[in-house]
Amino acid sequence: MSLMNLAQSGLSTAMLAMNVVGNNLNNAYTPGYSRQSLIFGEAGGRTTGYGFFGYGVKTDGVQRAYDGFINNQMRNISSEYSALGSRYQQFSQIDDMLGDDTSNISVSLGNIFGALEKMSSDPANPAARQEALSQFKAISYQYNSNSSTLAGLEKSTNTLINQTVSDVNSYAKQLANLNEQIGKIYAQTGTLPADLLDQRDLVLGQLGDLVGVKVNEDTGNGRVDVTMANGMPLVNGDRAYSLEASASPEEPSKTIVSYVDAAGNKMPIDESKFTQGQLGGLFKFRNEDLVDARNQLNQLALQMANKFNEVNHAGYDRNGDQGGDIFTIADPTAITNRNNVGDGTLDVSFTDISQVVAQDYDITFKGPGASDWEVKTSDGRTITPTIGSNGELEFDGISISPQGTPQPGDSFKLNPADNAAGKLKVAIDDGDLIAASSSSDPSDESNNENIKDLIAIKDARLIGNGTLSEAYASLVSSVGSSMSSLKGNAATTGKAYDAIAEQQQSVAGVDLQQEMINLQMFNQYYQANAQVLQTAVDIFDTLLSLRS
């Protein structure tokens, strides 16, 4: 090969190298961009009697900085971090609700007992009675407000689940489309397009942030297949599968997610298997954190209202009448599964509120016979009810009377304390109706024996082995403990995320200083080859002049 051809080979390669460096510099801040480098190779040569003479340099392609193992680690830690973030975002609102030291149920309880103690010293005082009534109304409002906050969180969580499902479907379609485009280019050129591979990895990361995924990559042709935590495929080559969010047939207020297979069949996913990604965090919050907080709040409201009613019934009001309810407690309601075949319903009432437990029950009709009905708790325990004379199912302080004609397999969901806090109302509209006296004689105005019993509710063991204040403190403590645990896990995961992100950046990121050095180096490389070309031209000119 002539000296001129060697120079042209070097000049061409130098230009290509500077083009790659320039592209790196241009995309230094482009999200998902992976640094590229030109691969140099010898162009061959020939052996002569004088020795081996090379043909110069050639380019063997452009290499994309990439480490699949690190990328996989990054997706996993990012997915875990996203799950913690989405759960924390929702849970922090419960923590904020309970963390108000000036306006909370514990303060309202204290105000009630303080007002009752004032009333005890002068039961006939209208102002003292009105103050006690005002405090009953205040705590009712407090329960209603807290319940409304939790209901709003449930709605916002359902909305986020809907949006997350929509985004998952969108990213899955993008991945399938990228698989198709990459496959076509590879089939035509035998090379993989770096820009599309960057887009692919960026979308994979975005998808992993939404739902935990497992990625199977074919490094030869650039194809990726994606499966979810439950093993169901989400992307298979150029085919994308989808998820669908819809109202639960068992609980219309709850949004469930179903997997849609190739035949269009919809299968509700097992939410317990989804622990990563935004979707996993939302499931964890809604199915555990929110349920626990709501159950504790409803149990507290129910038992408090029941005890005040019970004690007020034992006394006499200012008119000498038997005391009535201070609070109105709504009867529990069973939710009928929309997929039921029969027209059966369940009429539910309280038999002993003190025995009621705030938890979900699944009630299924099994068919005619002595054991027509199966009752299970949300954690899978089977409850054996007592059968009443009219076929009522009695257990845990409630009575259920089946109505209509249910069919085998029909099911119902019941939480006897559900919305006890949200529907709690004050049943009296006059402080004179507070039963302060143990005497039916209205002239016995100084009698405060029953109000002493109302005050004693403060120290009564009503929930588990705790008082009302202790039960509320337990609710606050459990939320606070979970928040602390979340913060700790997020901090630990965040450090791991930063470490892997730094490792990934060291492999695929663009170092501006290094690229500037490379640019100068290839510029010098270009100038050197230009000098070789000039030398070849000079020699050629000299040879021409000698011939002339």
Are 172 and 277 members of one domain?
yes
Quick: pLDDT tens for 501-511: 999 999 999 99
Q: Does residue 451 fall inside a structural domain?
A: no
Split at pLDDT 50, 70, 90, the class of 321 is: very high
Whether residue 418 contacts residue 408, with contact meaning beta carbons closer than 8 Å, is answered with no
Q: What single DSSP character describes residue 49?
A: T
Asked whether the predicted pLDDT for residue 1 surpasses 80, the reply is no
**Do 280 and 336 lie in a common domain?**
no
Is 534 a residue whose pLDDT tops 80? yes
Say yes or no: 163 and 279 in one domain. Answer: yes
Are 178 and 60 found together in one domain? Answer: no
User: Count of CB atoms within 10 A of residue 538's CB?
Assistant: 10
220 and 276: one domain?
A: yes
pLDDT of residue 203: 97
| pLDDT of 78 higher than 60 | yes
Give the mean model confidence (pLDDT) for residues 405-427: 95
pLDDT of residue 547: 64
pLDDT of 548 > 70? The answer is no
Q: Identify the pLDDT of residue 370.
A: 52
Residue 306 has pLDDT above 60, yes or no: yes
Residue 278 and residue 211 in contact, taking contact as beta carbons nearer than 8 Å: yes
* pLDDT computed for residue 81 by the predictor: 96
Residue at 81 is within a domain: no
In a domain, 87, yes or no: no
In a 3-state reduction of DSSP, which class is residue 64?
A: strand
For residues 229 and 346, state if they share a domain: no
Q: What are phi and psi of 59, to 5 degrees?
A: -105, 130
Nearest in space to 300 (alpha carbons), one of 111, 476, 451: 476
Residue range(s) defining the domain that contains residue 341:
331-418
345 and 280 together in one domain: no
Classify residue 354: in a domain, yes or no. yes
Statement to judge: residues 164 and 266 lie in one domain: yes
Query: Would residue 319 count as lying in a domain?
Result: no
Could you tell me the two tokens for 103?
Answer: 């306006």
Domain boundary among 366, 398, 418: 418
On whether the CB atoms of residues 243 and 274 are closer than 8 A, the answer is no
Per-position DSSP letters for 288-303, written without gaps between them: IIIHHHHHHHHHHHHH
Can you read off the two tokens belonging to residue 209? 């942030």
Query: Residue 252 — very low, low, confident or very high, per pLDDT cuts 50/70/90?
Result: very high
Dist CA 473 CA 469 (whole Å): 6
3-state SS class at 456: helix
Provide the H-helix boundaries in 232-375. 277-284, 291-313
Q: Is the pLDDT of residue 60 over 70?
A: yes
**Residue 267 shares a structural domain with residue 346:** no
198-237 residue pLDDT tens: 999 999 999 999 999 999 999 999 999 999 988 999 999 9
52 in any annotated domain: yes
Total domain count, the chain: 3
To the nearest 10°, the Cα dihedral for 75, 79, 81, 86? 150
Instruction: Check pLDDT > 70 for residue 414.
Output: yes
* Same domain? 176 vs 265: yes
| Position 434 in a domain | no
Residue 520 is given by DSSP the state H
pLDDT of 86 over the 60 cut: yes
Query: Are 281 and 386 in the same domain?
Result: no
* In a shared domain, residues 280 and 189: yes
Q: E strand or H helix at 449, and its extent?
A: helix 449-456
- Report pLDDT digits (tens) over 89-110: 999 999 999 988 888 999 999 9
Last residue of a domain, one of 402, 418, 434: 418
Mean pLDDT in residue range 24-46: 92
**Residue 345 belongs to some domain of the structure:** yes
What type of residue sits at position 289?
A: D
pLDDT band at 55 (very low <50, low <70, confident <90, very high): confident
- What mean pLDDT comes out for the span 353-369? 91
Last residue of a domain, one of 229, 259, 285: 285
